[in-house]
A and B are shown apart, each in its own frame.
Chain A
Amino acid sequence: MWLWFSKLGSPRWFYELSSKWLPWLYAAMAILGLVGLTWALLFVPEDYQQGETIRIMYVHVPVASISLACFPLMAVAGTITLVWKMKLADMVAKCAAPIGLWFTGLALATGAIWGEPIWGTWWAWDARLTSMLIQFFLFIGVVALRSAIESPDNAAKACAVLSIVGAINVPIIKYSVEWWNTLHQPSSDYSMDPVSPNPPEVWVPLFIMICAVYVFFVITLILRTRNEILVRERRSQWVKDLVARA
């Protein structure tokens, strides 16, 4: 276990291993994405209230769920950076921040597109929208701090501290805002009962889409991390060999 852990911390090992993972991940994303999208866009019945508009849910919910997972991920990676000084963890944290920023932005954008026909407005000061917006600002803060500090080591540690503080703050923001004002529908329960308001024919494609977008997120994260590894290790022999071979 500890050997595996220290090995995983080696950027070279991760680079080599991830190149083996990537084809599988591409395949998984292609299958899940194709099945999920066709199902969601063509075969899911129209919602009795929202009509065709409901289909944007199949993009909105996966994107939003990942944007929520990103801050805890950065906090965990940051803790590993601070405690074990693992280089790879910081590279992952660095690459996760802009992706999280994008996904939060996408969740806000798709939410606005969904909200316009349903709530009749692009934006409302609703609890979830507001907490997403504040999370968007928190991501901007992490990205800005990273780019403002010149020394990579200091930037790594500073961003780790900020990510941990932010991750503690995200639930507090969420609850305070929720308690402040709420209009957004709560998450629906999943049910196997075909006559429930949320039958399997609605949520199974959603589940597939969530998986697809998660795989997409992992692929993006791995690709960015691989670039980061090459940049940071550009003076090491194995990267030089790799470039010479290419």
Chain B
Amino acid sequence: MTQPTSTSSAVTVSTSAAFVATLKRDLLVAFKRRNDLLNPIMFFLIVVTLFPLGVSSDPVELARISAGVVWVSALLASMLSLDNLYRADYEDGSLEQLLLSPQPLYFLVLAKNIAHWLIAGLPVVVLSPLLAYMLYLPQEAYVTLVLSLLIGTPVLSLIGSIGVALTVGLGSRGLILAVIVLPLSTPVLIIGAKAVTDIMFGLPVGSHFALLGAILALTLTMAPLASAAALRISVN
């Protein structure tokens, strides 16, 4: 007796292969649309530039707020690019195919989130020392800033993904995505920015990184579940 599930046309794809394929596809799509790739970095740059213009060009004052400015700008840049995560896929129907695929949605969502971080999060992390220099961040704080962003920005992508998944089906969303995502992102912002500020005052920052790591571990395991559930609701 033949197995009822295997038909001649069905190709079984392992979960890891599907994970890699989703990741590759999202990165490829981003490379084909250069705007998606450049916009988060440009936005990050422009927002940071606004602060000296709006606050003061005084080096002492700028140094004091530099950690917070870089962190808030990174948060906004990540949020602004969230739409790319599911919006286009929802409109052209490929999101439905993703939901119908036999692999666990958790891993596919995770792959998409990692792709988003590579596109919108990592460039910001890489660019942050340059902007920190322009904001007169003290030298001893550079490593902490980059490390805190490196651990913190994936959390922003993972949490933001829940918000986009919940709102992707809405015709006119306006600011609702920001209203949902920003309050949820505050713990990362608080801890990340405080780590940089504390190192500037010569305080130990080990506990900050422990907390950031704990939040990353929590969101890495839980957030894709919520995103997957939200996607199934939105794409009905």
Taking the complex as formed, is A113 at the interface, i.e. its CB lies under 8 A from any CB of chain B? no
A residues at B contact (CB < 8 Å): 82, 134-135, 137-138, 140-141, 144-145, 148-149, 151, 154, 157-158, 161-162, 164-166, 168-169, 172-173, 176-177, 180
Residues of B within 8 Å of A141, CB to CB, are 176, 179-180, 183
Pair A162/B182 contact, Cβ less than 8 Å: no
Pair B162/A161 contact, Cβ less than 8 Å: yes
Pair A168/B222 contact, Cβ less than 8 Å: yes
A137 touches which of B170, B182, B215 (Cβ 8 Å): B182
Residue of A nearest to B227 (CB): A161
Residue of B nearest to A131 (CB): B186
Residues of A within 8 Å of B233, CB to CB, are 154, 157-158, 161
Interface residues of B in 132-183 (CB under 8 A from A): 162, 166-167, 169-170, 173, 176, 179-180, 182-183
Pair B180/A173 contact, Cβ less than 8 Å: no
Interface of A is mostly: helix
Q: Contacts A144-B179, A145-B167, A161-B229 known; A176 to B211 CB distance under 8 Å? A: yes
Residues of B within 8 Å of A135, CB to CB, are 183
Residues of B within 8 Å of A180, CB to CB, are 190, 194
B190 touches which of A149, A161, A165, A176 (Cβ 8 Å): A176
Residues of A within 8 Å of B179, CB to CB, are 137, 140-141, 144
With A and B bound together, what is the CA distance between A138 and B185 in angstroms? Answer: 11
With A and B bound together, what is the CA distance between A166 and B186 in angstroms? Answer: 12
Pair A176/B176 contact, Cβ less than 8 Å: no
Interface residues of B in 183-197 (CB under 8 A from A): 183-184, 186-187, 190-191, 194
Residues of B within 8 Å of A169, CB to CB, are 183-184, 187
Which among A135, A148, A173 has the highest number of chain B CB atoms within 10 Å? A148
23 A-B pairs with C-beta separation under 8 A: A137-B179, A137-B182, A138-B183, A141-B176, A141-B179, A141-B183, A144-B180, A145-B180, A148-B173, A148-B176, A149-B170, A161-B162, A161-B233, A162-B180, A165-B184, A168-B222, A169-B187, A173-B186, A176-B187, A176-B190, A176-B191, A180-B190, A180-B194
With A and B bound together, what is the CA distance between A41 and B222 in angstroms? Answer: 48
Counted as pairs of residues, one from A and one from B, with CB atoms less than 8 Å apart, the total is 70
Residues of B within 8 Å of A140, CB to CB, are 179
Pair A158/B166 contact, Cβ less than 8 Å: yes
- Name the distance in Å between A127's Cβ and chain B's nearest Cβ: 10
Residues of B within 8 Å of A166, CB to CB, are 184
- Name the distance in Å between B156's Cβ and chain A's nearest Cβ: 13
Residues of A within 8 Å of B236, CB to CB, are 151, 154
- Name the distance in Å between A182's Cβ and chain B's nearest Cβ: 13
Residues of B within 8 Å of A149, CB to CB, are 169-170
Residues of B within 8 Å of A157, CB to CB, are 233
Pair B194/A148 contact, Cβ less than 8 Å: no
With A and B bound together, what is the CA distance between A162 and B159 in angstroms? Answer: 11
- Name the distance in Å between A130's Cβ and chain B's nearest Cβ: 9
Q: Contacts A140-B179, A164-B226, A180-B194 known; A158 to B186 CB distance under 8 Å? A: no
Residues of A within 8 Å of B229, CB to CB, are 82, 161
Pair A158/B187 contact, Cβ less than 8 Å: no
A sample of 4 more A-B contacts (CB under 8 A), given A138-B183, A144-B179, A144-B180, is A135-B183, A145-B180, A176-B187, A177-B186
- Name the distance in Å between A140's Cβ and chain B's nearest Cβ: 6
Which among B162, B167, B184, B191 has the highest number of chain A CB atoms within 10 Å? B184
Taking the complex as formed, is B84 at the interface, i.e. its CB lies under 8 A from any CB of chain A? no
Residues of A within 8 Å of B234, CB to CB, are 154, 158
With A and B bound together, what is the CA distance between A104 and B236 in angstroms? Answer: 33
Residues of B within 8 Å of A162, CB to CB, are 162, 166, 180
B186 touches which of A144, A161, A176 (Cβ 8 Å): A176
Pair A134/B176 contact, Cβ less than 8 Å: no
Residues of B within 8 Å of A148, CB to CB, are 167, 170, 173, 176
Taking the complex as formed, is B95 at the interface, i.e. its CB lies under 8 A from any CB of chain A? no
